[in-house]
Amino acid sequence: MTLPVAVLVSGRGSNLQAILDACASGALDARVVYVASNHAGVPALDRAASAGVPHGAFTVADFGSRAAAQAAMAEAVMRTDPRLVVHAGFDHILGPEYFVRLGGTPVINVHPALLPLFGGRGMYGVRVHESVLAAGATESGATVHRVHPDTIDLGEVVVQRRVPVLSGDTPEMLGARVLEQEHIAIVEAIRRFVPATTPLR
Ligand code: GRF
């Protein structure tokens, strides 16, 4: 059965693109049914439009508060009846009003480090890679994990892919190496949620 997936984004959308490409090529038996952003006018929404996927922006400016924006976003997402919600470069912490509306729909997130290392509040974007280098770690990677209410980067790991830290790495160089693995990990992780069409023997 083709898995209907909703994707939450905030910016560039390269992880979204990896998902769209995997669906289009048949590598992943899933379909992106909706893309929601907390920022208007971001490249990720253009990627959704180019792929013909319904999409919307839910900004604090339009809705008056972060809670109201997140509630409206969750309602729009659930109207498309996804069986999985993927946070792919989504940069807000989601409150209870979001999770209540999602019901029991599973949620996963991609993080650019080997959780539980280098996760938690304030650990996003280039800061993650700066911290990995400052700690003298010899490897980093990408983690896709379950998301639960009121936690940051703490849910069960679904897929993890490792990369070496190389001498002379800048945060940007390390980040680019990790991002390649994010694109693979996010597709692998979604595949875990695709129901088998025939029972396993
Ligand atoms: C990724 O590194 C993701 O792990 C992080 O933000 C970045 C988003 O990239 N949370 P993109 O928007 O998918 O290109």
Give the CA radius of gyration of the chain.
17
Asked whether residue 112 carries a pLDDT value surpassing 90, the answer given is: yes
Separation of CA 42 and ligand 1 centre (Å): 13
pLDDT, residue 117, reads 95
pLDDT, residue 149, reads 82
Give, for ligand 1, the residue of 10, 12, 114 to mutate: max count of ligand atoms closer than 8 Å to Cβ: 12
110 lines ligand 1 (CB under 6 A): yes
In the chain, what is the straight-line distance between the N-terminal and C-terminal CA atoms, in Å?
Answer: 18
112 lines ligand 1 (CB under 6 A): yes
Ligand 1 atom, smallest distance to 11 CA: 12
pLDDT digits (tens, 9 = 90+) for 43-57: 999 999 999 999 999
Choose the catalytic residue: 39, 111, 129, 145: 111
Asked whether residue 61 carries a pLDDT value surpassing 80, the answer given is: yes
**What is the 8-class DSSP label of residue 64?**
S
Give, for ligand 1, the residue of 129, 174, 182 to mutate: max count of ligand atoms closer than 8 Å to Cβ: 182
For residues 115-119, average pLDDT: 95
pLDDT digits (tens, 9 = 90+) for 62-104: 999 999 999 999 999 999 999 999 999 998 888 888 999 999 9
**What is the 8-class DSSP label of residue 58?**
-
Coil, helix or strand for 5?
strand
Which strands sit side by side in the sheet containing 107-111, from one edge to the other?
55-57, 30-37, 3-9, 84-87, 107-111, 139-146, 157-164
Asked whether residue 194 carries a pLDDT value surpassing 80, the answer given is: yes
As a whole-number percent, the residues of the chain with pLDDT over 70 amount to 98
Closest CA to 90 of 186, 159, 165, 166: 186
pLDDT digits (tens, 9 = 90+) for 141-172: 999 999 988 777 789 999 999 999 999 999 99
Q: Check: CB of residue 61 under 8 Å from CB of residue 39.
A: no
Q: Cis peptide before 116, with omega less than 30 degrees from 0?
A: yes
Instruction: Respond yes or no: is residue 111 known to be catalytic.
Output: yes
* Interacting residues of 55 by C-beta distance below 8 A, sequence separation 6+: 34, 35, 36, 37, 45, 48, 49
Q: Check: CB of residue 48 under 8 Å from CB of residue 35.
A: yes
